[in-house]
Amino acid sequence: MLKKIIHTFGIRAFSAVVNLFVAILLSQYLGPEGKGSQTLIITTISFILIFANLVGGATLVYLTPRFPVFQLLFPSYLWTILMSLLAYPVLSLTHLVAQPYIFHVCLLSVINSLMSIHSNVLIGNQRIKESNHLVTFQTVMLIGSLAFSFLVLHNASVESYLISLYISLGTSMLVSVFFIRKSYREFSIFPVIQFLPVVIQMLRYGFQNQVAHITQMLSFRLSIYVLEDRGLAAVGVYSNGISIAESIWLVAKSMSLVQYSWVSNSSDRMASARLTIQLVKVGVVASLLLIIPLLILPVSGYTFIFGKGFSEVKPVIWTLLPGVLIYNFSILFGHYYSGTGRYHVNTIISSLGLLVSVALYYSLIPRFSIIGAGYATSLSYMFTSLLFLWYFSKEYKGWARELIPGVKDFRSVFQEIRKSVN
């Protein structure tokens, strides 16, 4: 298990470092306002993807071994296009992003979703390495094309960022088509009625799996759209602060993927609960260690990294860190409930968290701007995590005692690391 966690952590850490360089380039060359525009673009793409994943998302991992792949691809493609077409008038009416960017946001959502569909098919066929290679390739292409545009062509603009997204996502999507090329050999003209059982299954599992993700993302990213009323510069500064603060989840998110796989294949619920507690301990301790350099780095350090207009990044990080730290519980408890087939728990908790988040955002952000957004998001993280703790404690009452790390825990971790290295 540790080998898989380390491998996943390595890929996620590499992607996080590359994304940090992307944020630095955008911040240094476009300033807070340009970074704010980029944040709204990429956040809106993420929202469209979440709705596209109702059919073409992670449920493909489960359904790929059970149906002909082309029968899964065709409905997924149609749903993705439909979601992007519906997004266009919604974005035009709500003005969530600037009018000149709406078409690009919708088209990039389609390209990104197609790559995601193919990646899930690869995972469903247990081709994890190819799926990971897609993630790595896309991030490398993004930083490479962006650096070439900004540093070589001296063309630093939001439009250049959009071109870099087209290059990185477009080439990665084509590579993903190459990876699943054998699936297209299954192509045949099926009667529409033959797609019906597949579509029903995709919608059923997709709805169960995605509703929690939709409410969760609304809870944690709605703040960006509320903050937009304070100006694009405020969005740009806040986005850098939240990206850095949430980077301490790298360990917990890496463990959660392996945890989900293990729990899904285990019939022993108590063993799954004990494993979850062990992973929470590691996640919290690792996060505490990662927090230290974020607290030590002075304001001048953040302005040196991002530029003169980003002096408020550190105060934002300070407001976020308590909630970000406790949210390790939510990450791992959420995957525990998903792995045991209880998606409704995640949905209920995320929905309650969304209600609290909306109240906090609209009460604190108008009064305190960026700092208010940080406090509201942190309180939202805490509320969601406390709900998970309350729910988990009803079925596993000894969790609090086991949560305190002891000498045996550290000794077993070092032994596992030594085994992995050898």
Overall domain count for the chain:
2
Percent of the chain with pLDDT over 70: 88
Token representation of residue 60: 């493909």
- Domain end residue (candidates: 159, 190, 221): 190
Is pLDDT larger for residue 183 or for residue 149? 149
Residue 181 shares a structural domain with residue 235: no
pLDDT, greater one: 287 or 6: 287
Q: Does a structural domain hold residue 199?
A: no
Same domain, 265 and 334: yes
Q: Is the pLDDT of residue 208 over 50?
A: yes
Q: Is the pLDDT of residue 417 over 60?
A: no
Does 121 or 259 have the greater pLDDT score?
A: 121
* Span 63-93, pLDDT tens digits: 777 777 777 888 889 999 999 999 999 999 9
Better-scored residue on pLDDT, 191 or 342: 342
Read off the pLDDT of residues 307-344 as tens digits, 9 standing for 90 and up.
989 999 999 999 999 999 999 989 888 888 877 778 78
* Residue 149 and residue 244 in one domain: no
Quote the pLDDT of residue 420. Answer: 45
Model confidence band, residue 413 (pLDDT cutoffs 50, 70, 90) = low
Q: How many CA within 13 A on the CB side of residue 210? A: 20
pLDDT reading at 189 higher than 90: no
Q: Is pLDDT of 62 > 90?
A: no
Give CB contacts under 8 A, 24+ apart, made by 45-48. Answer: 45/105, 45/108, 45/109, 45/112, 46/217, 46/221, 47/217, 47/221, 48/83, 48/84, 48/87, 48/105, 48/106, 48/109, 48/113
Across the chain, what does the average pLDDT equal? 86
- Contact by Cβ (8 Å): 49, 116: yes
129 within domain boundaries: yes
Does the pLDDT of residue 171 top 60, yes or no?
yes
As given in the structure block, the two tokens for residue 289 are: 């260690």
Domain final residue, candidates 190, 211, 246: 190
Q: Is residue 19 part of a domain?
A: yes
Same domain, 4 and 123: yes
Within-domain flag for 226: no
Question: Are residues 166 and 236 both part of a single domain?
Answer: no
Burial degree of 45 (CB within 10 A; 0-12, 13-18, 19+): buried
**Domain shared by 113 and 248, yes or no:** no
Q: How confident is the model over 249-267, as a mean pLDDT?
A: 77
Asked whether residue 184 falls in the same domain as residue 238, the answer is no
- Asked if 281 and 149 sit in the same domain, the reply is no
Span 222-243, average pLDDT: 93
Quick one: average pLDDT of 361-369?
A: 94
Together in a domain, 163 and 283: no
In order, the DSSP letters of 370-391 are HHHHHHHHHHHHHHHHHHHHHH
Predicted structure pTM score: 0.86
Question: Is 221 within a domain?
Answer: no
Q: Which residue has the higher pLDDT, 14 or 311?
A: 311
pLDDT value for 159: 95
Banded model confidence at residue 370, pLDDT cuts 50, 70, 90: very high
pLDDT value for 83: 94
For residue 195, being part of any structural domain is answered with no
d(CA 111, CA 174): 10
**Can you give the pLDDT at residue 421?**
45
For residue 22, the enclosing domain spans 1-190
Q: What is the pLDDT of residue 193?
A: 66
Which residue is it, tokens 């406390």?
A: 386
pLDDT score at 338 = 79
